[in-house]
Amino acid sequence: MRILILEDEEPAARQMLGFLEQAAVATHALPVIRSVEKALLWLQANPMPDLIFSDIELLDGNVFTLYERFRVTCPIIFTTAYDQFLLPAFRGNGIAYLLKPFRYEQVQEALEKYQGLRASLAGSVPAPAGLSLEIVEELRTALRQNTQPRYKQRFSVRMRNSFYVLQAHDIAYVQADEGVTFAVDGAGTRYPLSGTLAELERQLDPASFGRLNRSELVNIAFVERIEPYFNNRLVVKLRPGGTTLTTSAAQTPEFRRWLEG
């Protein structure tokens, strides 16, 4: 079975891959895509998969923008933290959803539903099973009315063959250095993160993390004081340890506005 996974959180993606391997439904490596734009490119360049497991909030936005731009004609099983409005939208449309955190048994049940639908349509020429524009709009409206932005609370970081859980509130600043993005905690320990600085900026709560320049974000909870610097820049001193960061001239006005809340 050709399955596409749309999921921006690495632990959730690994769990889903493990569940599908346990269910023995795929004989080859499954593509895992973390953003709307990359998913669009993949769908344009590859045959339609048999089934999609789709999160709702990806790195660069809401997944329904993908389904508006590209007509998906295979069944979709949503893996989501939203529950109060998805069930009415999906009822009667042959689309299942898994409420996070979910168990293997729920994945297995969803796969059995898919197989049952597929078997019932054998020998006929069914209409495309993609999301209609009406369903997409209903889901988007429900999202706007019933949800608040969700920001990352923690990161799973691989270091020296082990995984560490890094809480977002423990990050003093985020820094892009020679193509690698690092989170730095209050003790100065650097943790390599996946994704670009722009992607991480979208994942972190903007009330806590502000951009200093093209390569750094800072957590307001670690800012000790701010001093003027030449060429309309600012020096930002952090606690503990006295780490010093500097805004760029271009970013200084926006940083000042962010400081004022």
CATH-assigned architecture of domain 3-146: 3-Layer(aba) Sandwich (3.40)
Decide: 65 and 36 in contact? Cβ < 8 Å.
Answer: yes
> Residue 212: what are its φ and ψ, rounded to 5°?
-95, -40
More confident residue, 56 or 167: 167
Listed as own residue / partner, the contacts of 229-238 with beta carbons closer than 8 Å and 24 or more positions apart are 236/212, 238/172, 238/173, 238/186
Element (H, E) at 162: strand 162-167
Q: What is the pTM of this model?
A: 0.51
Question: Per-residue pLDDT for 251 more than 90?
Answer: yes
Element (H, E) at 196: none
Determine the Cα–Cα distance for residues 171 and 190; give it in Å rounded to an integer: 10
Tokens of 254: 């926006």
- Please write the tens of the pLDDT for every residue from 153-186: 888 888 877 888 899 999 999 999 888 999 999 9
For CATH 3.40.50.2300, list the domain ranges present in the chain: 3-146
More confident residue, 84 or 4: 4
Tokens of 54: 């789709």
Q: How far apart are the first and last CA of the chain?
A: 50
Tokens 């993160």 appear where? 193
Q: In the prediction, which pLDDT does 129 show?
A: 46
Tokens of 180: 């690698």
Q: In the prediction, which pLDDT does 20 show?
A: 93
Q: Mean per-residue pLDDT for 201-217?
A: 94
Q: In the prediction, which pLDDT does 137 show?
A: 61
The percent of residues in the chain predicted with pLDDT above 70, rounded, is: 82
- Please write the tens of the pLDDT for every residue from 104-153: 998 998 888 788 767 765 554 444 445 555 655 655 555 555 445 578 88
Residue type present at position 127: A
Decide: 219 and 171 in contact? Cβ < 8 Å.
Answer: yes
Average pLDDT for the chain:
83
Decide: 212 and 248 in contact? Cβ < 8 Å.
Answer: yes
At residue 86 the predicted structure's pLDDT band, cuts being 50, 70 and 90, is: low
Other CB atoms within 10 Å distance of the CB of residue 13: 20
Pairing status of strand 216-219 against strand 209-213: antiparallel
Determine the Cα–Cα distance for residues 160 and 192; give it in Å rounded to an integer: 11
Question: Per-residue pLDDT for 12 more than 80?
Answer: yes
* CATH code assigned to 154-259: 2.40.50.1020
For CATH 2.40.50.1020, list the domain ranges present in the chain: 154-259
Decide: 7 and 77 in contact? Cβ < 8 Å.
Answer: no
